Amino acid sequence: MLQWQQWNRKLKVVLWALTLIGVIAALPLGALRWQMESTSKQVEYVMDYKDIVLVASYQNDPAAFLDQQLDRMKAAGVTTMAVFESTLDEFVMAKHINIYNRGQLALLEGKAPVPGRNETYVLFAGTEEQEKLGPLIEKAFERKDITVEPWSYDGRPGLKLNTPIENATLVSMNPDPMALEKINAAGFRILPRLSDRIRPYNQEAAGELVAQLKQYNVDRILFDGDAVKGFNDNADMNSLYGFAELLKNNHIGLAAIEGLKSPQQGFNTLSYLTDYDVVRLHSIPTGLAATITPETLTDRFLLAAKDRNIRMFYLNAAPSRSFDKGGISDPLEKLADALSGPDGTIQKLADFGFPSGNAEAFSFDTPGWAKAAKAIVCLGAVSIIALLIGAFASWLTIPAFVLGLIGSAGLYVLSASTLEQGLALGAAISAPSLALIWAMNVVRRRTEGNRRAVSGSDWNHTSPTGAYSGAVRAGDAPRWGSLLGDIFAIGRIKWIFNGLTASQRFGNAVVLFIVTSLISLLGVPFVFGLLNNIKYSLVLQQFRGVSLLHIAPIGLVALYVFLYTGTSVLANLRRLLSIQITVFWIAVVGILGIVGLYYLSRTGNAGHASSLEMLMRNTLETTFGVRPRSKEFLLAHPLLLLGLFLALRYRAAWVLIIVGSIGQLSMVDTFAHIHTPMHISLIRDLLGLGLGAIIGCVLIAVWQIGEGVWHRWLRTRIVPSAE
């Protein structure tokens, strides 16, 4: 058994070497991503054309109002108009047609309604509308096997559709050709919003549509609905592949909507088939557009472009009823004012390095050596995971490494992406956990003396400084009454260490803080090295398990403190299990549970910040250009530095090191947001460390002052005895 332990200890040196080699191999992969993120900087501002038409439909002169708003949006800096597929209702809204059922037609003709078949009558506004919209309507309804017949009223041309008006208004058609012409003539680019509602998929018809769009220099498509065009018929017709071929041949890319509750079906496949010619799009909802301030709009767009690689901004501006104003209101003027001018959103983004222009997809390349480099990174990730396992069970180091290699090879055959994500998550958890375990071991050596585990159960104790000496005997009774004493150990354990001066403790704490952070940051290259794929940058594939990263290091560090810092693991475990459960402990567990739930609710992209925190965030964003994470520089880093300083004198301060693990894991988690540019994540981590260290030094100074005041007060309470 002793020989096996020695082999495991010798292997740890090799594993650390492999870990460092893996880190070095990941750096060129990170450089590739860094270079990719610099290939697309222009941002495109898109307005929903249908919203403008809808607002115009409520005006006295819709045509004049529409022209006026197009000019206003052009002057404000909007470059693109989004155009949906058409329906009869939208043609009515645009004043191109009128539609009637049989009863409405009878009233129009001045006749009494006669019960009969349910039919729909389409009356064109003029001959131009008939020429441009008539063929579109006929094809759409014939595709649905609905008979279409010529019809006219009062000399105006029309069509009779042999289907109820309720069905007729739900039939989708290609985008309005008259709208396309008007938008193009006004000098805007066009962003078509296509769906998979025109079914069955027809390759010839899709080709005609793409050719029509290409005439207007369309180079990107945004999908509408829950599926991309061709998805539902793909199993029978390979329609996704056919549509992808049309897009590639015409150099048309895709736009991915940020923050959808569920991804549009088929989008990932279509992205792959079009070589990931994809840009990310951020949308301002209609309700928010009506109330958003220019400052908030600027902050929102800047944060999206800078932190999330957003390159298209989509503006909605639907009208709403306003009793206060006594009419229909809309946010068009408000949005135009917020975008335009030297202090407007568009100019501010341009000043920050995101000029207005045509959004372009990231240009990326995967050189031949990248695969070999990633294999080395995988080996390093397996090594650091084995080191973490060995920190808790030294005898498992060799089996963990061997099984890790075998399991990785098998998982690579089954699912390479699962392997990459699993190893990235394991390495991200291992690095901060090992860093804090190392820091605690250093603290113990400088307070209690050298202690080395033997056979995973008992300890050898030496204490050249005299801080701790003698083996702990299981029969010894505790000599303290504190609650912490019931948790940490079962024998005579010293709670206060006097071997180091305050200046020595401060110097040691700063060095420990720096080295601990550097070890934690070893997990970062494994994250960006293993997840070096455009799919993660475009959020077409998510890094799963990030919630585990938020809690695992905290739990592992706490486990190490409570079970691995006493006489033996079994003795500490018995002591924990024998603690009497009181109302106090139930309350403590409840409070910790609430704090834990709040902490988890604030992690990831779903967390919500208070108005006060938003004000602080905006101040930091304005001051530094990049906002450090609040939980790092306000809480975790300062408490870790303070905890390291105090732990060199007070054993109870180890609990602060547990809290400090939040900051260490958060630094790695920052890089787990793959859609955030690497240089932003790096600046965010460094700012958090710097500001956190400053606040931590302030806390240490406050502690020292408070401790001095306390000691002086105690001395004044001592009354000298009379001789």
CB within 8 Å of 378: residues ≥ 6 apart: 22, 408, 419, 420, 423, 530
Confidence of residue 484 (pLDDT cuts 50, 70, 90): very low
**pTM as predicted:** 0.85
Are 153 and 143 a contacting pair, CB within 8 Å? Answer: no
Residue type, 216: Y
584 falls in which pLDDT band (50, 70, 90)? low
**CA gyration radius, the chain:** 34
Q: How far apart are CA 289 and CA 242, in angstroms?
A: 38
Chain segment 664-705, per-residue pLDDT in tens: 999 999 999 999 999 999 999 999 999 999 999 999 999 999
Token couple for 87:
């329906």
Q: What is the pLDDT of residues 382-396, one digit of tens each?
A: 999 999 999 998 888
- CB-CB contact of 161 with 120 (8 Å): yes
**Residue that wins the pLDDT comparison between 6 and 511:** 511
Distance separating alpha carbons of residues 470 and 492, to the nearest angstrom: 10
Q: How far apart are CA 37 and CA 43, in angstroms?
A: 14
For residues 641 and 646, what is the distance between their CA atoms, to the nearest angstrom? 9
- How far CA 615 is from CA of 299, 307, 341, 345, 606, in Å, comes to 11, 18, 25, 19, 19
Q: In the 8-state DSSP scheme, what is residue 707?
A: H
d(CA 450, CA 442): 9
Phi, psi at residue 368, to the nearest 5°? -65, -30
Is the confidence at residue 470, as pLDDT, over 70?
Answer: no
CA dihedral 580, 584, 585, 588 (to 10 degrees): -170
- DSSP letter (8 states) at residue 395: G
Over residues 390-426, the pLDDT tens digits come to 999 888 899 999 999 999 999 999 999 999 999 999 9
* Number of CB atoms found within 10 A of residue 305's CB: 21
Name the least confident of 5-14, 131-140, 148-157, 250-259. Answer: 5-14
Characterize 548-560 residue by residue with b for buried, 16 or more Cβ atoms within 10 angstroms of its Cβ, and e for exposed: ebbbbbbebbbeb
DSSP string, 630-661: HIIIIIIHHHHHHHHHHHTTBGGGHHHHHHHH
CA distance 515 to 439: 8
**pLDDT confidence band for 464 (50 / 70 / 90):** very low
Structural contact between residues 627 and 619, judged by C-beta atoms closer than 8 angstroms: no
* Cis peptide bond N-terminal to 150, omega within 30: no
* Residue 10 tokens, joined: 């010798």
Whole-angstrom distance, CA of residue 642 vs CA of residue 492: 26
Cβ neighbours for 200, distance < 8 A, ≥ 6 positions apart = 233, 237
**Across-strand partners of 100?**
121
Place of tokens 């645009």: 94
Lowest average pLDDT, out of 233-247, 277-291, 305-319, 456-470, goes to 456-470
Is residue 493 very low, low, confident or very high in pLDDT (cuts 50, 70, 90)? Answer: low
Position 466 pLDDT exceeds 50 = no
What residue ranges of the chain are covered by domains with CATH 3.20.20?
40-81+174-361
Stretch (H or E) spanning 17: helix 2-37
Cis before 177 (ω within 30) = no
Compute the distance between CA of residue 411 and CA of residue 423 in angstroms, rounded to an integer: 11
Length of the chain: 723
Amino acid 722: pLDDT: 45
Q: List the beta bridge partners of residue 458.
A: 454
pLDDT band, very low/low/confident/very high, at 329 (cuts 50, 70, 90)? confident
Domain 40-81+174-361 falls under CATH 3.20.20? yes
Q: 253 in helix, strand or coil? A: strand
Using the predicted structure, report yes or no on whether residue 574 has a pLDDT greater than 80: no
Q: Quick check: 119 and 162 in contact, CB under 8 A?
A: yes
